């Protein structure tokens, strides 16, 4: 081997985005692919798998979807799947959490822009939530159509989502009514939990026969949720 070969090319794999590299720069170039470092590529694969899971869970149901199908749809190997999720259940939990966080962000953003009184703002916030939920039918199915009964961990996540919603309502009521005395705070929280549960059940019941592309049906759901909300709030104020 000639001395000059010490600076020879180690590899050339243009299909993976590499250029001609020497031993001195291969490690440096190996840190980025398509401008993404290892952590960014991992996050990208995670999003691709969750997008594929959303598509398949909505179309085939939780039990009708396999890890292999998710990987095939995402064009990602099963090895990479198990580097991110330990099971199909964990993948579904991550999808549920991602969906919930996005819905929560939309509603919290709408609340931050509120300028009117509660009677004006409550219907607007409920409409924001409903429209964010039904804009993608897959999200509606995965969030409300199948989460119940999958596992204890999924049920805990559902309850965590309801607790967030109840806490959001309690903060909203504090804004309009003022903070309650200590002995009334637990009562307010309990009423908020019940109100959220009732509204979520109304949505689940509506979904059984709903046409998510029918604007009149969507507006009817918003009206029903608003009426239920106002009725509970009147009872709380007594």
Same domain, yes or no: 11 and 104? no
Q: 158-210 pLDDT, tens per residue?
A: 899 999 999 999 999 998 888 888 878 888 899 999 999 999 999 999 998 99
Count of alpha carbons within 13 angstroms of residue 39, beta-carbon side: 0
What's the CATH code of the domain at 127? 1.10.357
The set of residues, in sequence order, having a beta carbon less than 8 Å from that of 114 and lying 6+ positions away, is: 121, 124, 125
Same domain, yes or no: 97 and 152? yes
What is the span of the domain harbouring residue 163? 88-237
Count of alpha carbons within 13 angstroms of residue 54, beta-carbon side: 18
Q: Answer yes or no: are the C-beta atoms of 212 and 137 closer than 8 Å.
A: yes
pLDDT interval class at 90 (50, 70, 90): very high
Same domain, yes or no: 173 and 59? no
């Amino acid at each position: 081997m000639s001395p000059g070969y010490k600076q020879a090319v180690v590899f050339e794999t243009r299909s993976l985005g590499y250029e001609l590299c020497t031993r001195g720069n291969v490690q440096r170039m190996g840190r980025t692919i398509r401008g993404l470092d290892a952590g960014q590529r991992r996050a990208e694969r995670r999003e691709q798998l969750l997008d594929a899971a959303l598509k398949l869970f909505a179309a085939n149901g939780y039990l009708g979807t396999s890890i292999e199908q998710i990987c095939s749809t995402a064009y990602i190997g099963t090895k990479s799947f198990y580097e991110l999720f330990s099971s199909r259940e964990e993948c579904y939990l991550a999808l549920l959490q991602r969906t919930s966080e996005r819905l929560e962000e939309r509603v919290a953003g709408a609340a931050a822009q509120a300028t009117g009184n509660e009677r004006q703002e409550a219907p607007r916030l409920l409409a924001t939530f409903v429209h964010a939920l039904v804009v993608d039918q897959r999200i509606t199915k995965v969030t409300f159509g199948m989460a119940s009964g999958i596992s204890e961990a999924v049920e805990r996540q559902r309850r965590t989502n309801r607790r967030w919603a109840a806490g959001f309502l309690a903060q909203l009521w504090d804004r309009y009514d003022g903070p309650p005395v200590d002995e009334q705070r637990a009562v307010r929280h309990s009423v908020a939990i019940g109100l959220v549960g009732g509204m979520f059940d109304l949505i689940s019941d509506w979904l059984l026969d709903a046409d998510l592309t029918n604007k009149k049906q969507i507006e009817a759901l918003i009206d029903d949720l608003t009426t239920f909300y106002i009725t509970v709030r009147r009872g709380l104020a007594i």
